[in-house]
A and B are shown apart, each in its own frame.
Chain A
Amino acid sequence: MPATTPLRTLVGPHPSENLSPDRGADERSQHLLEVLSQARDRSSWSDELSTHVDHWEDRFHLSNQRANVVRGLALDDPDAVLEIGAAAGALTRYLGENASVVDALETDRALAAAARLRCADLPHVVVHELDLDDVPAEPAYDLIVAADVPASSGTAGDDLARLLQTCRRLLRPGGHVVVAVDNTDGVRRLAGGRPPARGDGGAPLLASRDELERAASTAGLGAQVLGAFPDHRHTVTLIDHAALREIDVALLERIVHLPSPPSGDGDDVVDGAQELRSWTEAVAAGTDDTRANSLVLVAGEHPVALDPLTYWSSGRRADLSACNRVRRTSDGPVVVRAHAHPSAPRGDGPLSLRPHTEPYVVGTLLVDVLAATEDADEAVPLVRTWVELLDRSDDGGPVPWDLIPRNVQVDGAGSAHAIDQEWAHATADRRYVLMRGAFWLGYDLLHATPPPAWLAGHTVASAADVLLALGGEDVPVDWRDFLDAEAVSMASVAPRSAREPLEAKIRKERRNLSYLSHRSVSSDDRPATDTVIEGLSAANRELRARVEQLELARRHDEIVARDHAIGLRAKLETALREVGRTRKQLARQRSRSKQLEAEIGALRGSTSFRLGRRIVAPVARLTRRDGA
Chain B
Amino acid sequence: MTPVPDLTTPTSVVIATTGAGGAVWDEDRSFVLEAVRSLRATSRHEALEFVVVHTSSTPAMTLTALVEVPDVDLVLVSYDGPATSSAPLNVGALHASGRALVFVDERSQAMSDETVGHLVGPLSTPEVGMVGPKLLSPDGSVRSAGLAVSDGQVASPWRGLPDSPDTNPDLFRDRVVDALDACCVAIDADVFHAVGGWSQEVPARYRHLDLGFKIRREGRALHWSAAAALWCFAPDPDLHQARPWETEFVTRRWGKDLSPAT
A interface residues (Cβ-Cβ under 8 A, vs B): 552, 555-556, 558-567, 570-571, 573-575, 577-578
Q: Is the CB of A577 within 8 A of B255?
A: yes
Q: Is the CB of B214 within 8 A of A574?
A: no
Q: Is the CB of B217 within 8 A of A566?
A: yes
Residues in A with CB closer than 8 Å to B197 are 559-560, 562-563
Residues in B with CB closer than 8 Å to A558 are 193
Q: Is the CB of B199 within 8 A of A567?
A: yes
**Given A560-B200, A563-B200, A566-B214, is A552 in contact with B94 using a C-beta cutoff of 8 Å?**
yes
Q: Is the CB of A559 within 8 A of B252?
A: no
**Given A555-B94, A574-B253, is A565 in contact with B260 using a C-beta cutoff of 8 Å?**
no
In the complex formed, the residue of B with least CB distance to A555 is: B94
**Given A556-B90, A563-B201, A566-B217, is A571 in contact with B253 using a C-beta cutoff of 8 Å?**
yes
Q: Is the CB of A566 within 8 A of B195?
A: yes
Interface string of B183-224 (1 = CB under 8 A from A): 000000000011111111110000000000110010000000
Q: Is the CB of B261 within 8 A of A573?
A: yes
Expressed in whole angstroms, the Cα–Cα distance for A558 and B197 within the complex equals: 10
Expressed in whole angstroms, the Cα–Cα distance for A563 and B253 within the complex equals: 11
The answer to the question of B158 belonging to the interface, with a C-beta cut-off of 8 Å to chain A, is no
The answer to the question of B172 belonging to the interface, with a C-beta cut-off of 8 Å to chain A, is no
Residues in B with CB closer than 8 Å to A574 are 252-255, 260
Q: Is the CB of B195 within 8 A of A562?
A: yes
Q: Is the CB of A559 within 8 A of B260?
A: no
The answer to the question of B91 belonging to the interface, with a C-beta cut-off of 8 Å to chain A, is yes
Interface string of B248-261 (1 = CB under 8 A from A): 00001111000011
Q: Is the CB of B90 within 8 A of A559?
A: yes
Q: Residue among A558, A560, A573 with the most chain B CB within 10 A? A: A560
In the complex formed, the residue of B with least CB distance to A564 is: B201
Residues in B with CB closer than 8 Å to A564 are 196, 201
Expressed in whole angstroms, the Cα–Cα distance for A574 and B202 within the complex equals: 16
Residues in A with CB closer than 8 Å to B199 are 563, 567
Q: Which 6 A-B pairs have the closest CB atoms?
A: A563-B196, A562-B196, A574-B255, A559-B197, A563-B199, A570-B253
In the complex formed, the residue of B with least CB distance to A578 is: B255
Q: Is the CB of B94 within 8 A of A556?
A: yes
Interface string of B224-262 (1 = CB under 8 A from A): 000000000000000000000000000011110000110
Ordered by A's residue number, 26 sampled pairs between the chains whose C-beta atoms are within 8 Å are: A552-B94, A556-B90, A556-B91, A560-B90, A560-B201, A561-B196, A562-B194, A562-B196, A563-B198, A563-B200, A564-B201, A566-B196, A566-B214, A566-B217, A570-B213, A570-B214, A570-B217, A570-B253, A570-B260, A573-B260, A573-B261, A574-B252, A574-B253, A574-B254, A574-B260, A577-B261
In the complex formed, the residue of A with least CB distance to B200 is: A560
Inter-chain pairs besides A556-B90, A563-B197, 5 sampled, C-beta below 8 Å: A552-B95, A555-B94, A556-B94, A567-B199, A567-B201
B240 to chain A, nearest CB (A): 22
Residues in B with CB closer than 8 Å to A556 are 87, 90-91, 94
Interface string of B83-109 (1 = CB under 8 A from A): 000010011011100000000000000
Residues in A with CB closer than 8 Å to B193 are 558-559, 562
Expressed in whole angstroms, the Cα–Cα distance for A472 and B193 within the complex equals: 79
A621 to chain B, nearest CB (A): 55
Expressed in whole angstroms, the Cα–Cα distance for A320 and B213 within the complex equals: 73
Kindly identify which residue among A563, A573, A577 contacts B195, using a CB–CB cutoff of 8 Å.
Answer: A563
Expressed in whole angstroms, the Cα–Cα distance for A562 and B254 within the complex equals: 16
In the complex formed, the residue of B with least CB distance to A561 is: B196
In the complex formed, the residue of A with least CB distance to B218 is: A566
Q: Is the CB of A567 within 8 A of B253?
A: yes
Q: Residue among B95, B196, B201 with the most chain A CB within 10 A? A: B196
Q: Is the CB of A559 within 8 A of B261?
A: no
Residues in B with CB closer than 8 Å to A570 are 213-214, 217, 253-254, 260
**Given A570-B254, A571-B252, A577-B255, is A560 in contact with B196 using a C-beta cutoff of 8 Å?**
yes
